[in-house]
């Protein structure tokens, strides 16, 4: 049966707020979890992923988990370790203990951020491209994907790991034209990931049907995802402001964009 009650972790964040608005239309009842309180949502659980008792209670009885909570940008390793690595482990342990069978994990393009972006005529980046994290943040997303694989192989908990490109109301850079996931397509993709059958552990790229797409959406489409949006509507304005991507600029040469260079770590 399609999952009805879904625990949404990271519900106070940018993407969590967008999905709180969009997912109920698909028939989901959302249970909310975040370390930050959410105004107007007295039923939300306000706790850290480090609070294993709160987490266990929060997952009890849900049909699936949409795991968005975590640090969403680069940060010192110790912080990433606690929130993203230990936090995601705690989440899966709670799911295992309470018998939750399906997780949708918010992975990121930054798990493979040092992958060169395709140039004219190159094939799209496939979903089995080797991991090339561009930050400790991206490294933690690779860890989450491997944890998902372990919990499928060992415990039969299914996961769709969605390597999200950039999910915001609008793209704000020329790079984002290639990786943008419109909020509406984000909801479509999460819905497909929550309901598709026999996913085991599946990794998908999370973008809209962008004219300037860099990566292959076939594993996402195989779940039933049919993107409706294209970032090209924003291209003229962004290119006028920022220019086209510069082939000589290292911050423009890889999928992860400025995450690969900011702060500078090595010569390119
Ligand atoms: P955000 O930073 O706006 O939201 C993250 C939420 O997680 C925040 O509300 C924060 O309070 C909560 N959180 C952080 N650490 C926590 C902890 N230890 N315990 C409990 N709650 C904690 O980020 P955003 O943009 O909403 O992203 C959501 C998820 O999607 C993140 O995992 C991020 O890495 C991932 N993602 C987002 C992308 C995007 O374009 N928005 C792109 C790729 C991945
Ligand atoms: C991410 O993983 C971040 O969470 C988000 O804030 C954006 O920076 C996005 O990637 C991106 O690559 O644009």
Mapping DSSP onto H, E and C, the string for 87-120 reads HHHHHHHHHHHHCCCEEEEEEEHHHHCCCECCCC
Looking at residue 251, its pLDDT comes to 92
Mutation to probe ligand 2, out of 10, 18, 73 (largest number of atoms < 8 A from CB): 73
Q: CA 227 to CA 220: how far, in whole Å?
A: 9
Q: Tell how far the Cα of 208 is from the centroid of ligand 1, in angstroms.
A: 20
Mean pLDDT of 38-45: 96
Q: How far apart are CA 114 and CA 134, in angstroms?
A: 6
Strand-pair partners of 159: 103, 201
The pLDDT of 40-44, averaged and rounded, is 95
Q: Is 109 in the pocket of ligand 2 (CB under 6 A)?
A: yes
Q: Is the pTM of this model over 0.95?
A: yes
- For the chain, report the end-to-end CA distance as a whole number of angstroms: 50
Q: What is the distance in A from the centroid of ligand 2 to the CA of 183? A: 14
Closest by Cα among 148, 46, 143, 146 to 93: 148
What sign results for the dihedral spanned by CA atoms 210, 211, 214, 219?
Answer: positive
Ligand 1 first shell, C-beta below 6 A: 10, 12-16, 34-36, 48-49, 68-72, 83, 87, 106, 108, 164, 166-168
The alpha carbon of 16 and the centre of ligand 1 are apart by a number of angstroms equal to 8
Contact 201, 149 (CB under 8 A): yes
Check pLDDT > 50 for residue 74.
yes
Whether the predicted pLDDT of 267 surpasses 70: no
Question: Alpha carbon of 184 to those of 51, 65, 128, 147: distances in Å?
Answer: 32, 19, 26, 28
| Residue 108: exposure state from Cβ atoms within 10 A (0-12, 13-18, ≥19) | buried
Task: Grade residue 215 by pLDDT with cuts at 50, 70 and 90.
Answer: very high
Residue 5's pLDDT band, with cuts at 50, 70 and 90, is very high
Q: Which residue lies with its CA nearest to atom 10 of ligand 2?
A: 166
Q: How many residues does the chain have?
A: 268
Q: What is the mean pLDDT of the chain?
A: 96
Q: Mark whether 137 is an active-site residue.
A: yes
Q: Which of 84, 110, 254, 256 to mutate to test the pocket of ligand 2 (most atoms within 8 A of CB)?
A: 110
Q: Is the pLDDT reported for residue 63 higher than 70?
A: yes
Question: Under CATH, what is the fold of the domain 5-260?
Answer: Rossmann fold (3.40.50)
Of the pLDDT bands very low, low, confident and very high (cuts 50, 70, 90), residue 21 is very high
Residue 268 pLDDT more than 90? no
Ligand nearest to the backbone CA of 205 = 1
Which atom of ligand 1 has the smallest separation from the CA of 137? 34
135 lines ligand 2 (CB under 6 A): no
195 pLDDT higher than 50: yes
């Amino acid at each position: 049966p399609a999952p009805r009650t879904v625990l949404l972790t990271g519900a106070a964040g940018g993407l969590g707020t967008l999905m709180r608005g969009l997912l109920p239309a698909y028939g989901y009842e959302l249970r909310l979890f975040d370390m930050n309180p959410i105004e107007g949502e007295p039923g939300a659980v306000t706790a850290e992923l480090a609070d294993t008792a709160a987490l266990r209670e929060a997952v009890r009885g849900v049909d699936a988990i949409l795991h968005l909570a975590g640090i969403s940008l680069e940060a010192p390793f110790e912080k990433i370790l606690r929130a993203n690595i230990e936090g995601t482990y705690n989440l899966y342990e709670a799911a295992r203990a309470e018998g939750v069978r399906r997780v949708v994990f918010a992975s990121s393009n930054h798990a493979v951020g040092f992958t060169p972006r395709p140039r004219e005529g190159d094939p799209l980046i496939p979903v089995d491209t080797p991991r090339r994290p561009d930050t400790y943040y991206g490294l933690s997303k690779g860890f989450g994907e491997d944890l998902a694989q372990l919990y499928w192989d060992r415990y039969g908990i299914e996961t769709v790991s969605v390597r999200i490109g950039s999910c915001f109301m609008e793209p704000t850079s020329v790079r984002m034209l290639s990786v943008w996931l419109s909020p509406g397509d984000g909801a479509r993709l999460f819905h497909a990931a929550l309901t598709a059958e026999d996913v085991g552990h599946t990794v998908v790229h999370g973008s809209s049907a962008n004219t300037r797409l860099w990566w292959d959406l076939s594993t996402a489409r195989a779940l039933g995802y049919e993107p409706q949006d294209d970032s090209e509507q924003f291209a003229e304005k962004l290119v006028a402001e920022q220019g086209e991507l510069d082939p000589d600029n290292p911050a423009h040469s890889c999928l992860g964009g400025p995450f690969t260079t900011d702060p500078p770590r090595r010569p390119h």
